[in-house]
């Protein structure tokens, strides 16, 4: 990889590392919503029925966000390795390993670094969108 490509990969790794911040915001929402759903039947007064669906949505979206967080974290590690002064592999070797581990379909092998970074940025935007959905569902539960 050229120095410019390594810089690009390292920048992509830093961008994807922001997914940890999104995850740190999402996990407490998910856990609180799950706890509220589990404890609702034990409360002496019946909870507002209208809050149960938004709370369930918070939990489901939280699970989706956790998936995106794992993916973003994995990709951040890959881009950090590619951006290091001694990258462990070429893109072709990385593709071969990912295909062999069934972490990437063969059809995606051979993409440029720019295409990979664009896909990673989409992943991060989706993760943020799921967090936004969680926040809106929390608002819906609070207003119910």
CA distance 41 to 22: 31
Quote the pLDDT of residue 46.
65
Quote the pLDDT of residue 47.
63
pLDDT in tens, 5-40: 999 999 999 999 999 999 999 999 999 999 999 988
pLDDT in tens, 67-123: 999 999 999 999 999 998 887 778 888 899 999 999 999 999 999 999 999 999 999
pLDDT band at 2 (very low <50, low <70, confident <90, very high): confident
Specify whether the backbone of 47 is left (phi greater than 0), alpha (psi in -120 to 50) or beta. beta
Quote the pLDDT of residue 49.
73
Q: pLDDT: is 66 or 88 the higher one?
A: 66
Quote the pLDDT of residue 136.
97
pLDDT in tens, 34-59: 999 998 877 766 667 778 899 999 99
Predicted TM-score of the model (pTM): 0.87
DSSP string, 28-61: HHHHHHHHHHHHGGGSSSPPPHHHHHHHHHHHHH
């Amino acid at each position: 990889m050229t120095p410019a490509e390594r810089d690009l990969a390292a920048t992509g790794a830093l961008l994807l590392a922001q997914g940890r911040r999104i995850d740190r915001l999402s996990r407490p929402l998910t856990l609180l919503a799950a706890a509220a759903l589990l404890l609702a039947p034990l409360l002496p007064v019946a909870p507002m029925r209208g809050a149960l669906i938004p709370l369930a949505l918070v939990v489901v979206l939280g699970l989706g966000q956790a998936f995106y967080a794992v993916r973003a974290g994995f990709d951040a590690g890959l881009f950090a390795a590619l951006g290091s002064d001694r990258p462990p592999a070429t893109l072709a070797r990385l593709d071969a390993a990912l295909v062999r581990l069934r972490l990437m379909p063969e059809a995606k092998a051979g993409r440029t670094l720019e295409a990979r970074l664009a896909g990673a940025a989409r992943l991060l935007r989706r993760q943020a969108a799921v967090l936004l959905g969680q926040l809106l569902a929390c608002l819906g539960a609070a207003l119910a």
